[in-house]
Amino acid sequence: MENVAKITFNRPDRLNTINTALRWDIYNALEDIRKDDNIGAVVITGAPRIREKEGKKEIKYCFSAGWDMTEATAGGPGEGPPVDLMDYVQDFEKPLIAMVNGYALGGGNELAMRCDFIYASENSEFGQPEIDRGFIPGWGGTQVLPRRVGLSQAKRIIFTGERISAKEAERIGLADVVVPMEKLEETTLEFAKKLASKAPLAIKRIKEVMNKGIDTDLKSGLKLELEGRDFLVATEDFQEGIMSFFEKRPPKWKGK
């Protein structure tokens, strides 16, 4: 897919709920992608549930309905990856796009928010339903959601546990782009390919600087930016970018 990788959650019968095994699968897939210099961007999505009902095919679309709560009655989740998966997703050095088609609830919504971008179909629904189970979002929802949509909007979503539509998610800044379902994959992949064509070292450093800078004061953030600029000026990719500009040709990035 032109330097774009795609990760698909494949537990459709459980609405792609996240158990310990899936956490390991996500981590291992991203580790493989991280080591592959040919991949410049990643799309993360979920497989739809397809069932036969009364002679008709019933399709339920779902990114992820969150934590698989059967683990709560089985002694809790098993030992997961060697890092906090949500932090790992957020800090992943390549651009990540959550392609949401259907439900993104609880931990599914939290994982989508840890990606750099959320592209969603018009039929999607977002929410943090933990309040109706007597507990709290535990994969970053109370902290990441306010940073995306503001404190009062985040409280509304988390306090009530109600689902919001894709259009509402787009309006408040939770979803970045919302399109008709039939155009979702095409639109998402087009954007992913655009990101994958950019200078990989610059993308990596920009993402790091912005993710760290947003949680600090302006002076400290500007210092991070200066350090990033000084690092990139000394790279082969920077020289290639300058030369391609003057030679009026597309740059050929080396990641060096």
| Residue keyed to tokens 């679309």 | 61
**Whether the predicted pLDDT of 147 surpasses 80:** yes
- Given the residues 2, 58, 130, 168, select the one marked as catalytic: 130
Q: Is 58 part of the annotated catalytic residue set?
A: no
Top pLDDT among 13 and 74 is at: 13
**Which domains can be identified in the chain, with CATH numbers?**
4-196 (3.90.226.10), 200-246 (1.10.12)
Note the Cα 198 to chain centre separation in Å: 19
**Which range (44-58, 154-168, 238-252) has the least confidence?**
44-58
- Region 199-224: mean pLDDT is 95
pLDDT in tens, 98-109: 999 999 999 999
The per-residue pLDDT for 76 is 62
At 126 the pLDDT is 98
Backbone angles phi, psi at 61, to 5 degrees: -85, 140
Q: Which pLDDT belongs to residue 51?
A: 83
> What average pLDDT does range 125-129 have in this prediction?
97
Judged by average pLDDT, the poorest of 28-37, 44-53, 193-202 is 44-53
Active-site annotation holds for 227: no
> What does the pLDDT look like over 64-77, one tens digit per residue?
999 988 887 666 66
The residue-averaged pLDDT of 71-84 equals: 77
Predicted confidence at residue 161, as pLDDT, reads 96
Question: Which H, E and C letters describe the chain, residue by residue?
Answer: CCCEEEEEECCHHHCCCECHHHHHHHHHHHHHHHCCCCCCEEEEEECCEEEEECCEEEEECEEECCECHHHHHCCCCCCCCCCCHHHHHHHCCCCEEEEECCEEECHHHHHHHHCCEEEEECCCEEECHHHHHCCCCCCCHHHHHHHHHCHHHHHHHHHHCCCEEHHHHHHHCCCCEEECHHHHHHHHHHHHHHHHCCCHHHHHHHHHHHHHHCCCCHHHHHHHHHHHHHHHHCCHHHHHHHHHHHCCCCCCCCCC
Which residue in 110, 125, 168, 182 is the catalytic one? Answer: 110
State the pLDDT at residue 74. Answer: 60
Mean pLDDT over residues 228-250, rounded?
Answer: 93
Q: Does residue 206 surpass a pLDDT of 80?
A: yes
Q: Where are the alpha helices (DSSP H) in 35-175?
A: 85-91, 107-114, 141-149, 151-160, 166-172
Q: What is the pTM of this model?
A: 0.93
pLDDT surpassing 70 at residue 1:
no
Buried b / exposed e along 220-239 (16+ C-beta atoms within 10 A): ebeebeeebeeebeebebbe
